[in-house]
C-alpha cells in the first residue's frame, strides 16, 4: 500500500474508533455542575409518621429541593417540587392530616430557573423520584422534556384512577437502574417502596465526587439511621430493601447521601445560583 493510501485507511479507522467509543472512553465524563433549587419549605407536624415510635409528637422543619444538573449532552432536572401555584397561597398548603407537612413556597421553580437563564424548553430530561405532589408538582411546565420514570410508577393509578402523567408527555418508562447519558456520570437507581416506582439518583461530579440524591427513600437523617418506614409507604419490605441497596451503592461509590427533605443537612449546602462541580 502506498503511503497516501495508508494515511486514508488510518484516518478512516480513527473515525470508526471515535464513532464506536462510548462517551466514558473519550476522557472525562460529561457531568459538569449541580444546582440545588429551593422548591418549597414546610413544617412536619409529627415526625414519628416517618419513623413509627421514634420522636412521637415532635415537629420538624422540612425543605423540598429540586436539583438541576448540567451535562455536556444537556440539562437534567431531578424532581420538580411543589406546584408553583402554591407560591400565591398566603398561608401555604395545609395538610389534611396535621401530622403531615404544612408546605409553603417562598420561590417558584420558574423563577429559580430564570435566575440561571435556563428555559423549560432547554431541559432535556425531567426525572422525578416519585409522583407525590411535593416532587412532581411542576412536571407540566416541561412538555418538551423527556420524562424518566419507572414503568411501575407511570402505571400506578393516581387518585380517582387518573393517570399520573399526561399521556402525550414524551417518556422513557424504565424498569430498574438507568445510565442517563451513557457515560456512567448520572445514574437512576431504582429504590421502590415509598411508592411502587420510586427512584433515587447517583451523580458523580468531577470535583465534589459521588452523591446519592435520596428522593423520599428516606426523609431525614434519624429516619435513615433508624431505617424508619413511614406509615403510609406503599411497601414496607421494599422500603427497607431499598435503603439497604442505597447503603451498598454509597459504600461502593464512596457517595454522600443528600436527603431531599432534611433541612439540617441542606442548611450546610450551597443553594443556587451557587453550584457543585
Ligand atoms: Zn413522597
SS3 label, residue 202: strand
Kindly indicate the confidence band of residue 4, based on its pLDDT and cuts at 50, 70 and 90. low
Task: Give the residue among 102, 130, 81 at the shortest CA–CA distance from 272.
Answer: 81
Strands 74-78 and 123-127: parallel
Q: How many whole angstroms from 194 Cα to the centroid of ligand 1? A: 7
Q: How many whole angstroms from 49 Cα to the centroid of ligand 1? A: 12
- Burial of 116 by CB count in 10 Å (0-12 exposed, 13-18 middle, 19+ buried)? middle
Per-residue pLDDT reduced to its tens digit, 177-195: 999 999 999 999 999 999 9
Cell numbers representing residue 3 in the block: 503511503
Kindly indicate the confidence band of residue 12, based on its pLDDT and cuts at 50, 70 and 90. low
Q: How many whole angstroms from 218 Cα to the centroid of ligand 1? A: 9
Q: How many whole angstroms from 66 Cα to the centroid of ligand 1? A: 14
SS3 label, residue 241: helix
Q: What's the mean pLDDT in 194-201?
A: 98
Cβ-contact 249, 211 below 8 angstroms: no
pLDDT higher for 232 or 154?
A: 154
Q: How many whole angstroms from 129 Cα to the centroid of ligand 1? A: 8
Compute the C-alpha angle 204/206/209, nearest 5°: 50
Count of Cβ atoms closer than 10 Å to residue 169 Cβ: 17
pLDDT of residue 26 exceeding 80: no
Kindly indicate the confidence band of residue 18, based on its pLDDT and cuts at 50, 70 and 90. very low
Mean pLDDT across the chain: 92
pLDDT of residue 207 exceeding 80: yes
Lowest mean pLDDT: which of 4-18, 97-111, 232-246? Answer: 4-18
Q: How many whole angstroms from 67 Cα to the centroid of ligand 1? A: 16
pLDDT higher for 232 or 252?
A: 252
Q: What is the pLDDT of residue 231?
A: 87
pLDDT of residue 243 exceeding 70: yes
Q: How many whole angstroms from 274 Cα to the centroid of ligand 1? A: 27
Cell numbers representing residue 54 in the block: 421514634
Q: How many whole angstroms from 130 Cα to the centroid of ligand 1? A: 7
Q: How many whole angstroms from 137 Cα to the centroid of ligand 1? A: 12
Per-residue pLDDT reduced to its tens digit, 244-276: 999 999 999 999 999 999 999 999 999 999 999
Q: How many whole angstroms from 115 Cα to the centroid of ligand 1? A: 27
- What is the C-alpha to C-alpha distance for residues 220 and 262, in angstroms, rounded to an integer? 5
Q: What is the pLDDT of residue 21?
A: 44
Q: Which residue is associated with the grid cell 411543589?
A: 82
Per-residue pLDDT reduced to its tens digit, 99-153: 999 999 999 999 999 999 999 999 999 999 999 999 999 999 999 999 999 999 9
pLDDT of residue 9 exceeding 90: no
Q: How many whole angstroms from 132 Cα to the centroid of ligand 1? A: 5
Cell numbers representing residue 220 in the block: 431525614
pLDDT of residue 61 exceeding 80: yes
- Cα dihedral 271, 32, 213, 250 sign: negative
- Burial of 240 by CB count in 10 Å (0-12 exposed, 13-18 middle, 19+ buried)? middle
Q: How many whole angstroms from 199 Cα to the centroid of ligand 1? A: 11
Q: What is the pLDDT of residue 17?
A: 47
Amino acid at each position: 500500500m502506498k503511503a497516501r493510501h495508508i494515511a486514508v485507511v488510518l484516518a478512516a479507522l480513527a473515525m470508526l474508533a471515535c464513532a464506536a467509543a462510548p462517551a466514558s472512553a473519550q476522557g472525562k465524563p460529561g457531568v459538569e455542575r449541580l444546582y440545588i433549587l429551593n422548591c418549597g419549605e414546610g413544617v412536619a407536624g409529627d415526625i414519628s409518621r416517618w419513623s413509627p415510635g421514634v420522636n412521637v409528637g415532635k415537629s420538624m422543619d422540612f425543605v423540598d429541593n429540586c436539583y438541576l444538573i448540567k451535562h455536556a449532552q444537556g440539562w437534567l432536572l431531578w424532581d420538580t417540587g411543589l406546584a408553583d401555584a402554591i407560591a400565591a397561597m398566603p398561608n401555604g398548603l395545609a395538610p389534611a392530616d396535621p401530622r403531615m407537612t404544612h408546605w409553603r413556597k417562598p420561590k417558584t421553580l420558574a423563577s429559580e430557573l430564570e435566575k440561571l437563564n435556563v428555559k423549560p424548553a432547554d431541559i432535556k430530561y425531567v426525572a422525578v423520584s416519585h409522583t407525590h405532589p411535593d416532587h412532581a408538582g411542576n412536571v407540566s411546565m416541561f412538555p418538551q422534556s423527556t420524562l424518566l420514570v419507572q414503568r411501575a410508577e407511570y402505571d400506578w393509578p393516581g387518585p380517582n384512577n387518573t393517570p399520573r402523567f399526561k399521556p402525550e408527555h414524551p417518556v422513557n418508562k424504565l424498569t430498574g437502574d438507568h445510565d442517563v447519558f451513557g457515560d456512567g456520570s448520572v445514574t437512576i437507581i431504582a429504590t421502590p417502596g415509598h411508592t411502587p416506582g420510586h427512584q433515587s439518583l447517583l451523580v458523580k461530579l468531577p470535583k465534589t465526587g459521588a452523591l446519592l440524591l435520596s428522593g423520599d427513600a428516606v426523609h431525614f437523617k434519624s429516619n435513615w439511621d433508624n431505617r424508619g418506614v413511614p406509615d403510609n409507604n406503599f411497601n414496607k419490605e421494599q422500603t427497607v430493601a431499598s435503603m439497604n441497596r442505597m447503603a451498598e451503592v454509597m459504600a461502593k461509590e464512596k457517595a454522600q447521601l443528600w436527603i431531599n427533605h432534611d433541612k439540617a443537612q441542606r442548611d450546610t449546602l450551597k443553594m443556587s445560583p451557587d453550584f457543585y462541580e
